[in-house]
Structure 1
Amino acid sequence: MKMEWRGVLDFRLLLLYTCGIIEVQSMSEVWVELRGPRFVVHHNSATLRCDHNVDPEALYKVVFYKHGQRIMKFVRGRDPPYELYNVTGADINLRHLQPTSITLERMDFAASGPYACEIALETPLYSKISKFHEVNVIVRQKYRPKIKIKHKKLPASEHLKATCQSGPAYPAPHLTWFINNNKVDERLTVPHGTMKVHRHHHGMPLSATVSELNFPLDTMDLYPNQTVEITCLSTIPSYASEFEGFADVQNSTVSANVIRHEPAPTQLPVKIISPEMNVSHRCTHNIIIILTSLMCHFRFY
């Protein structure tokens, strides 16, 4: 019986599609997605959109949720068409209110959480809800990360050792190392986790992240006395998504001088004499011997 009803429903939907009321041919092709920023700076605003592939004229109802609770409902044909509910930690901007989008203003930390939206059709009777979209209210870093190097001048046969500490933020930033603009393999780093910095932002405790670098310099093709650049990148979040970059990014760079000693010679230097120079040397030597003999001969006389 359910299969027969689904067939009738899809047939009615196909008729509606041919009349230009809806853009899809079956309910299985309907999709809905809530889109918006993943991270919002404290006391800033964010716009959430309920995207779908249904003809807007066919929409009967749109509902926005936070933590599964309604925060806005739009019903076509009602007066007024909007119903607004309490949003903990944010205010809804009434001037920018639309059937499929809402703007949350002055977002506090309590506004963080999972959001979703739902669309509904009246003919045929059908509704679909989106997946949850997580929104996080953050505090940006107060300053650049700090790098400390154990030795700023070292041989190429040793390991480059350094530590990096991010600026205070919420949540704690993620640290990434670079040497000469090349990302360092994370296996050559030692994360030391996060630490409290005894600083707060509107009651929210801030944290810093610490990471250690232990990089073997002999893996690099270096020339004598080359300078290498060590960069610590501090970001929120740990990676940038396809549609959204970093919510917060800071970086610092320091230099170290790498000494590369040339190998010692395996034998003493040998002077190479050409055959012509060798013949000239022998002739000179013979002339000296002859002159010495003649002088001795005339002395006896």
Structure 2
Amino acid sequence: MEPRSGQPAAAAVGCFLFFLLIALASEVFGLTGVRIWNPEAIRAGETLRLSCDYDLQGVPLYSIKWYFGDEEFYRYVPKESPPTRVFPLSSSTSVDISESNDHKVTLTNLPREMSGHYKCEVSADGPLFHTQIKESYITIIEEPKSPPIVFAGKLKYSKGEPVVINCTSYSAFPATNLTWYINDIKVTSQTKYSKIVSWIVPEPGGMETSKSRLEIKARPTLFPNGRMLVRCESSQFALYKKYTVTELAEDSPKLAQMMSPSTVLGGSRANSANKFVTNVVFALVACLASRIASSLFR
């Protein structure tokens, strides 16, 4: 019997063709186009709606799984009955099953601690069970209770004098962004003769305070009509924006008031005239007194 030396080669070719067909099938019928649609941020206590789009290329869906970090909170498996399963998250957050399906999931009453990465895992059915995961970061904000507070050392400034103004936005999560405007023009790192220093102060309980200091030299161009309007604006994403405006005045030297010569009450000429009038009055009085005395003694 002759050795069948060609059989291993044929088997190898067969295996190669098999895996090539699988690879081609995966290219033609594989899972593609997985994307997450979500808001960048929401307010604490609001509802979060997440959407996961995908293209199975004709292959049946095996499962959809949603995660917060690495913690699964929603699963959709069309072959199971019922197809949806939910898993607990925080004490206040829950999944609204009536608003969730194989493409979307709805979470209600989210606290700020639910800020983080949300993942969508899509798996196609067998025999390939292709799986893709996409994730997105979402911030749950808490707004400040009041507008920013602005404090200036004084309200009047002379030319060349340093102007220092402080702005504080208390108790927010995450810390608000503070932006300065002078006469409705934004102050940036390119603004001449100005400097901005900003920092964040952590508060007990996880809230944060934003602080910013604006330093600028007083110049006549900053005081149109003798006034400068300084605005500090506090913002969080596109959800929150409040501001406070303070008005500063130019402390320019005042010219001494000039008086008309007709109103001048002093001077050597006025004194001479006064003396002349006085002497004439005394002479008349003396003359009258002399005549009266002579008539009495006759």
Q: What is the TM-score when the length of structure 1 is the normalising length?
A: 0.67
Matching residue of 1:118: 121
1:98 pairs with 101, 107, 115, which one? Answer: 101
Matching residue of 2:243: 251
Give the unaligned 5+ runs of structure 1: 17-25, 199-203, 263-301
Matching residue of 1:229: 229
2:147 pairs with 140, 144, 149, which one? Answer: 144
How far apart are the structure 2 equivalents of 1:214 and 1:106? Answer: 42
Matching residue of 1:20: none
User: Percent identical across equivalent pairs?
Assistant: 19
Q: Indicate yes or no: 2:175 matched with 1:183.
A: no
How far apart are the structure 2 equivalents of 1:6 and 1:178? Answer: 65
Matching residue of 2:216: 215
Q: Contact 2:200/2:208 (CA < 8 Å) preserved in 1?
A: no
Q: Contact 1:146/1:165 (CA < 8 Å) preserved in 2?
A: yes
Aligned pairs, how many? Answer: 236
Change in CA separation of 1:68 and 1:167 when aligned onto 2, cut-off 3 Å: same
Alpha-carbon deviation of 1:224? 5.9
Q: What is the TM-score when the length of structure 2 is the normalising length?
A: 0.68
Please give the residue correspondences for 1:36-47 in structure 2 after superposition, counting only pairs within 5 Å.
Answer: 36-47=38-49
Deviations 1:7-49 (A, max 9, x none): 4334224654xxxxxxxxx66xx23233323333222211111
1:8 pairs with 21, 27, 38, which one? Answer: 21
Matching residue of 1:129: 133
1:108 pairs with 108, 111, 130, which one? Answer: 111
Q: Which amino acid aligns with 1:233?
A: E
Q: Contact 2:179/2:232 (CA < 8 Å) preserved in 1?
A: yes
SS at match of 1:95: helix
* RMSD of aligned residue pairs (Cα, Å): 3.2
How far apart are the structure 2 equivalents of 1:13 and 1:48? Answer: 28
Q: Contact 1:194/1:208 (CA < 8 Å) preserved in 2?
A: yes
Give the unaligned 5+ runs of structure 2: 1-11, 255-298
For the pair shown, the structure with the greater C-alpha radius of gyration is: 2
Q: Which amino acid aligns with 1:163?
A: N
SS at match of 2:51: strand
SS at match of 1:167: strand
Matching residue of 1:194: 201
Alpha-carbon deviation of 1:104? 0.8
Moved over 6 A (4+): 1-6
Alpha-carbon deviation of 1:5? 6.7
Q: Contact 1:194/1:207 (CA < 8 Å) preserved in 2?
A: yes
Change in CA separation of 1:15 and 1:234 when aligned onto 2, cut-off 3 Å: closer
How far apart are the structure 2 equivalents of 1:59 and 1:223? Answer: 67
SS at match of 1:177: strand
Please give the residue correspondences for 1:41-56 in structure 2 after superposition, counting only pairs within 5 Å.
Answer: 41-54=43-56
Q: Contact 2:167/2:213 (CA < 8 Å) preserved in 1?
A: yes
Q: Indicate yes or no: 2:75 matched with 1:73.
A: yes
How far apart are the structure 2 equivalents of 1:215 and 1:60? Answer: 63
Matching residue of 1:32: 34
Q: Which amino acid aligns with 2:197?
A: V
Q: Which amino acid aligns with 1:129?
A: I
